[in-house]
Chains A and B, each alone.
Chain A
């Protein structure tokens, strides 16, 4: 297929074909990161800006490495160094960046829709690196890539997403991709963390973690979104850990072959125990590795064309 989009704003916009195309493209980039010389000239002369209004280690580094391995020039702007602290609006910041003609801008922002706003006013390709509680499309794509790698398929699987579904952009993006491919998706968490009407997205809600994980193929753990008031939805993290912390017994209930995922950063001892995080079912570090390949694929598809 031919890639036609200027921007990557969310998983909800993407068709199955587009997602598969990204995964297949990522497949071809994966081994570059394991070579002695980890660089190809594909995006030489292109400029990628990462504009991060929220803290991030994994996503920003992953995008930067992905861009550099494709030989693009990268510039990082984080909110502490940007003009946002001087009262400049997002729109003005974006317009100023545009004047320097970057090819792509990866934006992470605490407010939903910020990437969509940029996409509407800028010629550069806009990549959503996470917007508030809305979407985190590259995370869902690297999750899909990891699932395909480990399970051999991305359909007809029993997948369980555990935690603060209401405030998690990772949950939203994964719900959109997993349901689109025809997987069973179970959302598990306390009722205060499950948004009303979520069943309309084609998922099932199960509040009991033990029941939810039975015979699961994939378990995705989420952290409590402290920066989005996450702790006010539960009496204490201790109680949360008792009810929704993933422990060895849950992995055993799921059975052989289950994979345990986490988008990071992990809060060990709260949503996931050490032995599960570091255990044989955990694919958490594979996710990080695959993240680079996915982001290389996305940068390549968005700005690598001859256009």
Chain B
């Protein structure tokens, strides 16, 4: 491995080349995503319990608000308008508690084992963000099936579905890395759960998930526009509702989601190693 030259301390030999690094990195991402997939395969009950909440929102909340027609939703029925919002909400709710896994892993010694492996920190964090999207995608499947069962007309063209998958992966990665950042800062389960609860409702209500931004009081609008959930909802609406143009063009929504996720991964890659100190 190391070449001992004349100097007292060896310099590492030239490491793997760029292409090998890339292959190695992809393998490491596959390992972490595969780990999550295997965990869920051994015990998928959580996925089913998680489906209850969006079902309630769609059936009860959606049902009531479609009969009273108080929310102007343009050419769409309220349930049509609501479906992408509830999809985004369930992605948020499942991802925002993802960081609890790092706290558990810290209480055991699992985190140290990841950190002494040669996996770059950015990959450790980014791949965990990606693994969170397995849950997000399973939620998406349930919400889409439910909505279709309720007679909601959605754009289910292959292109739209591919778009939905990509946007949900981004959204899951965004909120799960935010969750990991919180976990790295607070370090205990109790504080983490408190902050998680504190965050979800404001993120949800200060967004366009269940009503359009135009209905919001003036002071709330800038907050909703600074809320990444708004861009997730907007992207999903453009993709899922036939003819919807959205608040912003799709590329803006996707760029915002991508940019914020990248920033969160960058920050967490620096905080995560402290969990083992």
* A and B part of one assembly: no
Which residues does A use to contact B, with CB under 8 Å? none
Which residues does B use to contact A, with CB under 8 Å? none
